[in-house]
Amino acid sequence: MKQILFLISMLITLGVFAWTASKIKSYFNLLKPAFPIKDISERIKLTLNVAFGQSKILRRPVIGFIHALVWWGFIVILFGSIEMIIDGLFGTERVLSIFGYFYNFIIAAGDIFGLVIAVAISIFLIRRNIIKVKRFEGIEMKKISHQDANIALLIIFFLMISLLGMNTFYQVKVIQQGGEMLGIFPISHFLVSTFIGLSEHTVSILHEANWWTHILLIFLFANILPYSKHFHVFMSVPNVFLSRLKPLGYIDNMPNITQEVKLMMNPNAIISEVDNNSMERFGMKDVEDGNWKNYLDSLACTQCGRCTSVCPANITGKLLSPRKLMIDFRARMKEKAPKLVKDKNFDDNKSYLGDYISEEEIWACTLCNACAQECPINMNHPNLIVEMRRYLVMEQAMAPSGLNAVFQNIENNGAPWQFAQADRLNWAKDIYIKQ
């Protein structure tokens, strides 16, 4: 009976997750290509360093180390979760104990991390709800954002409590039945004496209750994540692996513009054809003008606020918040993408630029790339800003007055200055230069 119930719950979980994944995949299909995925060895090194090694997180040594412990703990506990799935399907108990000493090490590490993560989550909840860390606040951080974070953190907390409970009552059950103890439990071992006096039936029920609570919370969490800010649990590693490897500050040329410039400089040049459908407009007005990496960034965003906390524009009181760029991109995709999937010509007379992000915000950016440098999962906020600026300048002829003057001078004089080419060297005519 237990195996049947487990199979049903797992199939429901997999079915719902597959439906969600297919929906998200259809949204990615609406977007443009970003860059070819090359240099696999370099990407693997980057992923090991930034994602698994948590190198950027550890720039803030105290809270960064606590967060890193949670991440590393999840990786270790994943081994036990796999074992639970096998046990649930085949009616076994602690089936992976066949790995001997390695199994003992992993189970011991998982038992320790269960307590470590529970304490860490308690710290995170206190920081969010009592201390109210400044970088967790902002105009983009709505009430639902804080509720979302708290729900995810509480699920993780109870996952760890149920893990420790499952380990505790397993040990009590083995002692009472005189069986062989499979695994080592450095933390929950100290709780055994508290429950050793309970009846075998009660201990068995409590063990099963914690076992089911733990596995069902895992199934629930897996299907909540895609709709939560904690989707980064799944998406952060792929996002780091698919990072743009070019130096920060590098701005990609626009293929159509590059072709036109080459033709102007050499009309006889043989230019490869550019797909006219690949760029319906210059720059980005709405989310469908973005590329798949923009959407991946928004899904992977942890909303930690590290980008906004180092942004010089935000620090000096301007409206720009790099975190808001990502939150709003994801929100706009959630709003428009389902309708675009059904009708590619759908238009709700709203757009990412204008209704979500204002012109004042994007022109406040200095393109210093501090946000991209600080982001713990290598998101590229300036790319969105550059594309929206390109749309305003090239499609709408809208730019700050200083830039408009520069553009006009380039058009009329071939240079950013307001002097004709013939007068360009007048400043030096009275200067004596010794031959």
- Does residue 423 form part of some domain? no
Which of 230, 265, 294 lies at the terminal end of a domain, its last residue? 230
| Nearest alpha carbon to residue 37 among 301, 300, 243, 275 | 243
Cβ atoms 259, 182 nearer than 8 A:
no
Does residue 357 share a domain with residue 214? no
Looking at the fold, whether 259 and 225 belong to one and the same domain comes out as: no
Look at the pTM and tell me if it is higher than 0.85: yes
Q: Is residue 261 predicted with pLDDT exceeding 90?
A: no
Could you read off the pLDDT of 364-375 as tens digits, one per residue? 999 999 999 999
Same domain, 60 and 154: yes
For the chain, the 3-state helix, strand and coil shares in percent, each to the nearest 5, are 70, 0, 30
Residue 434 belongs to a domain: no
pLDDT at 272 over 60: no
Distance CA 417, CA 394 (A): 20
Q: What is the mean pLDDT of residues 254-259?
A: 81
Taking 90 as the threshold, does the pLDDT of residue 409 lie above it? no
The answer on pLDDT for 285 being more than 60 is: yes
**Residues 204 and 327 reside in one and the same domain:** no
Indicate if the pLDDT at residue 411 is higher than 90: no
**Contact predicate 87/123, CB 8 Å:** no
Q: What is the mean pLDDT of the chain?
A: 92
Token pair, residue 372, equals 């991209």
pLDDT exceeds 60 at position 353: yes
Q: Is residue 267 predicted with pLDDT exceeding 60?
A: yes
Q: Which residue has the tokens 């429950």?
A: 195
Cα 22 to the center of its chain, rounded Å = 19
pLDDT classification of 271: cutoffs 50, 70, 90? low
- Over range 207-215, report the average pLDDT: 97
- How many folded domains does the chain comprise? 2
Q: What is the CATH number of the domain that holds 341?
A: 1.10.1060
Residue 52 CA to residue 71 CA, distance in Å, equals: 8
pLDDT reading at 232 higher than 70: yes
Mean pLDDT in residue range 312-323: 95
Q: Which amino acid is at 206?
A: L
**Are 406 and 289 in a shared domain?**
yes
Residue 235 counted as domain residue: no
Is position 433 within any domain? no
Is the pLDDT at 270 greater than 80, yes or no? Answer: no
Residues 220, 262: one domain? no
| Mean pLDDT, rounded, for 264-286 | 69
- Give the rounded percent of residues in the chain with a pLDDT score beyond 70: 96
Which among 163, 45, 180, 60 has a CA at the least distance from the CA of 115? 163
Structure tokens at 103: 């199994």
Please indicate, yes or no, whether residues 185 and 259 belong to a single structural domain of this protein: no
pLDDT of residue 158: 97
Average confidence (pLDDT) over 151-157 = 96
Range of the domain at 336: 255-413
Give yes or no: residues 57 and 175 share one domain.
yes
